[in-house]
Amino acid sequence: MRVVFLGPPGAGKGTQARILHERFGLEQISTGDILRQNGAAETELGRRAEVYMHRGELVPDELVIAMIEAELRKMPAGFVMDGFPRTVAQAEALDRMLQGRGWPLDAAVLFNADRAVLIERLASRWTNPRTGRTYNVLTNPPKRAGICDEDGGELIQRDDDRPETVATRLDVYDAQTKPLIEYYRRTGRLVEIDALASVESVAEKIATAIGSAQTPGARW
Ligand code: AP5
Ligand code: MG
């Protein structure tokens, strides 16, 4: 099963990709997490990407596409991509990479949510910078404030969750990523999900929807 998640910042892509990994063993490829890890490790990619991420803009296609090519070399045939593709050029590159491997994409899941809810979710999000696991002080708090339930380490607020950067990220999504909705709808791969429902209810809807979108004969 190969799935990509499309949706605005704060829609719950990372939360749901983690659930698909835990429940069905799909590998999670989160471009945001990989780029942040590169930033922390001060790699050349991390240094180049940080400038854009700090402003809430997209990292240039050629850097992100090369990064995904490298990730796919390490990946088994089942995965969920959280945060890639984000432009039509990235989607076309992904189709080419998957065609070359004989791995068709089963579904592109679109997370629908309204702007006011996304702004609130991002303002109340806390993240484990070591694993990418997120919490929310309003809807999904950790057992101890500021501490990750899983590794007992400190939680942080992401640098790009400042209100002015969130506004830019939402505008960038509308301008550069929304055209992908049509790209996947046209090819019959789009599955739409109401991302305003509870985490558990969204997880159930995704499992049902992608189960029926699966390529005949393919396995999870
Ligand atoms: P990235 O890290 O991918 O950020 P994003 O797309 O802006 O999305 P987020 O991670 O903010 O939100 P999410 O949908 O994962 O929500 P989450 O599950 O955390 O990218 C960051 C940057 O990297 C980009 O701006 C860009 O610069 C660069 N980049 C990355 N990929 C790129 C690419 N392909 N091309 C170019 N540049 C790229 O949930 C949010 C909060 O809500 C959490 O607190 C969570 O607990 C809570 N929550 C989740 N679901 C629910 C629910 N159903 N009900 C209530 N609360 C919920
Ligand atoms: Mg995320």
| Tens digit of pLDDT at every position of the chain (220 positions) | 899 999 999 999 999 999 999 998 999 999 999 999 999 999 999 999 999 999 999 999 999 999 999 999 998 889 999 999 999 999 999 999 999 999 999 999 999 999 999 999 999 999 999 999 999 999 999 999 999 999 999 999 999 999 999 999 999 999 999 999 999 999 999 999 999 999 999 999 999 988 766 554 444 4
Q: Which of 30, 50, 51, 59 to mutate to test the pocket of ligand 1 (most atoms within 8 A of CB)?
A: 59
Contact present, 20 and 30 (Cβ < 8 Å): no
Q: Give me ligand 1 centre to Cα 216, in Å.
A: 31
The catalytic position among 18, 86, 133, 205 is 86
Which tokens belong to 84?
A: 């890639």
- 50 to each of 3, 112, 183, how far by Cα in Å? 27, 27, 28
The catalytic position among 125, 133, 189, 205 is 125
Helix residue ranges per DSSP H, the chain: 13-24, 31-40, 44-55, 61-74, 88-101, 115-123, 163-172, 179-186, 199-213
Which tokens belong to 33?
A: 């997490």
The helix/strand/coil state of 6 is: strand
Q: Is the pTM of this model over 0.85?
A: yes
Tell me the C-alpha distance between 177 and 181, whole Å.
Answer: 8
115 part of the active site: no
Which tokens belong to 132?
A: 């990418």
For the chain, what is the radius of gyration of the CA atoms? Answer: 17
Residue 160 Rama label (left phi>0; alpha psi -120 to 50; beta)? alpha
- Pocket lining for ligand 1, CB < 6 angstroms: 7, 9-15, 31-32, 35, 52-53, 56-59, 64, 83-84, 86, 90, 121, 125, 134-136, 139-140, 160, 169, 198-199, 202
The helix/strand/coil state of 167 is: helix
